Amino acid sequence: MAKNVADQLVEMLVSAGIKRIYAVTGDSLNEVNDAVRREGSIKWIHVRHEEVGAYAAAAEAELNGLACCAGSSGPGHVHLINGLYDAHRSGAPVIAIASTIASTEYGTGYFQETNTIKLFDDCSHYNQVATTPKQLPRMLQSAIQAALHQKGVAVLGLPGDLTSMDA
């Protein structure tokens, strides 16, 4: 089976030392959740809502170094905010995966569309959205480096349709 973008994402997170992803599964995170299950090294920690996931990742990062949380478009992104602000202001290196609506729906007012660049700008050192499979490795590496070296949050936006594409 060919490796998709979600598989590549998970491999890179494993290489960076991520042990857990704190998240609520939403449609745009399904491929990532499945890649975590297939790979087997990272535990998907299902939380009540994304705010809890962001706080949990912040606590883990303060104790052990780099940690990860994820939220899916719309309410999932908004729920991440408080925990990400806490992590960022505390200097906790957290990678936040902000899965979004399909890239073909950007700018159409699609249900639960959020502008992740505007939303997460004030609570992150790195905040970008990958729009092609080729961008993911470099952008994720930049996010990891920003979180670790600048001590705070790095947000990587991933359209739901991107994660199922061939890496």
Domain harbouring 144, CATH code:
3.40.50.970
- Taking a C-beta distance cutoff of 8 angstroms, is the pair 28, 41 a contact? no
> Would residue 109 count as lying in a domain?
yes
SS3 for 44-79 is EEECCCHHHHHHHHHHHHHHHCCEEEEEECCHHHHH
Q: Is residue 164 part of a domain?
A: no
pLDDT in tens, 83-132: 999 999 999 999 999 999 888 888 888 888 889 999 999 999 999 999 99
What does the alpha-carbon distance between residue 134 and residue 66 come to, in Å, rounded to a whole number? 24
87 or 1, greater pLDDT:
87
pLDDT in tens, 140-160: 999 999 999 999 999 999 999
Residue 125 is part of which domain span? Answer: 5-159
- How high is the pLDDT of residue 1? 65
Helices then strands (H, E): number in the chain?
A: 6, 6
What is the tens place of the pLDDT at every residue in 41-80? 999 999 999 999 999 999 999 999 999 999 998 899 999 9
